[in-house]
Structure formats: structure tokens, C-alpha cells
């Protein structure tokens, strides 16, 4: 049996967002236990020219909600990108998971050849559905998840590979 576009996207995205949520819970608990202002973590970055943790989470959720919507041929939900606390980031993750769970397999399956166009200022990228998912969304999603993990790990939060990949 072949892997469908839905199977390759929504369940994996929802699972990884759950792992991201658990990582942020550990970061919040760490901040409380060590009496560190949580804003230190939310605003932390690995390098001066990189986005802070808050933006990493925003981009990760934007990647998957946009993917689900574009593959399903529906409007992409718009979020304000104004989260400044762990609670607000968790709410964004929950909202993203709820949206993705509202998209069903019949909306996404068969989207391998669906034209997808993204605009970044004056730049435009065009894909077909399958390369969009496999070559653009998946690497970008995991990059921003990894950066969130790395920022927290770098700042002393006790997380490991199992936190990133989750339980099997």
C-alpha cells in the first residue's frame, strides 16, 4: 500500500507539535524551578542573526498550517505572530493542531500534483503538492523545531533526543 499525502503530513505534524508542546512545558518548569524569567527563554536565540525561540515556534506552526490548507485547497488561517509567553506559544500550538485535525484525508489525498505558489515579498516559489510537502515544508518544519530544541538545550533546559522525537 502506498503512503498517502495525508499520512505523510497531518499525523506527523500533529505528533511533532505535541512533542514541541512537551518541550515548552519542560522549559517553563525549568524556568520556574531555577527562578529564571521565562521571557529569557522565549526571547533566546542561538546567534545574534537568528530568530528567537518565539519566532521559531511561530514559523514551525505557520509551515504546517499553511501546508495543510494549501494541500487541501482551503484558505490558510492567519495568526498575528504576537506570542511573548510560553502560555501564548502553547495556545498557538493547540490552535494549529486543532486546525490540522479539522482537515481530513479526503481533502489532502490526491494533492500530489496540486500547484502551490508561495510569495515572499517580490519572490515567488512554485511547487507541485508532493515536492512542496517533501522538499519544502518537512525540512523547514523540522529546522524550526530543531532550533527551538537547540535554543532551550543551549540555555540549560534538561531535554534530550527522546523529547524531540517523542515516544513510540
Is residue 5 in some structural domain?
Answer: no
pTM tops 0.85: yes
Q: Is residue 53's pLDDT more than 90?
A: yes
Is residue 4 in some structural domain?
Answer: no
Query: What is the domain-level CATH number for residue 52?
Result: 1.20.120.450
Structural contact between residues 146 and 9, judged by C-beta atoms closer than 8 angstroms: no
Report in angstroms the alpha-carbon separations of 161 from 31, 94, 110, 158, 165: 20, 22, 34, 11, 6
Q: Is residue 83's pLDDT more than 80?
A: yes
Domain tally for the chain?
1
Is residue 28 in some structural domain?
Answer: yes
Structural contact between residues 117 and 136, judged by C-beta atoms closer than 8 angstroms: no
Instruction: List Cβ neighbours of 130 (8 Å cut-off, separation of 6 or more).
Output: 5, 111, 112, 113
Is residue 3 in some structural domain?
Answer: no
Domain span at 76: 10-165
Tens-digit pLDDT profile for residues 92-125: 999 999 999 999 999 999 999 999 999 988 999 9
Is residue 1 in some structural domain?
Answer: no
Amino acid at each position: 500500500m502506498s503512503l498517502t499525502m495525508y499520512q505523510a503530513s497531518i499525523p506527523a505534524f500533529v505528533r511533532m507539535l505535541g512533542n514541541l508542546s512537551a518541550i515548552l512545558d519542560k522549559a517553563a518548569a525549568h524556568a520556574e524551578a531555577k527562578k529564571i524569567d521565562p521571557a529569557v527563554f522565549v526571547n533566546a536565540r542561538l546567534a545574534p542573526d537568528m530568530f528567537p525561540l518565539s519566532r521559531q515556534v511561530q514559523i514551525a506552526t505557520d509551515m504546517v498550517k499553511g501546508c495543510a490548507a494549501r494541500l487541501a485547497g482551503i484558505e490558510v488561517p492567519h495568526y498575528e505572530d504576537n506570542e511573548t509567553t510560553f502560555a501564548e506559544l502553547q495556545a498557538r500550538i493547540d490552535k494549529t493542531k486543532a486546525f490540522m485535525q479539522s482537515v481530513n484525508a479526503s481533502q489532502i489525498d490526491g494533492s500530489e500534483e496540486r500547484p502551490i505558489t508561495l510569495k515572499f515579498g517580490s519572490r515567488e516559489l512554485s511547487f507541485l503538492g508532493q515536492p512542496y510537502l517533501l522538499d519544502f515544508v518537512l525540512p523547514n518544519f523540522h529546522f524550526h523545531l530543531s532550533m527551538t530544541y537547540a535554543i532551550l538545550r543551549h540555555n540549560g533546559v534538561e531535554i534530550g533526543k527522546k523529547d524531540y522525537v517523542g515516544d513510540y
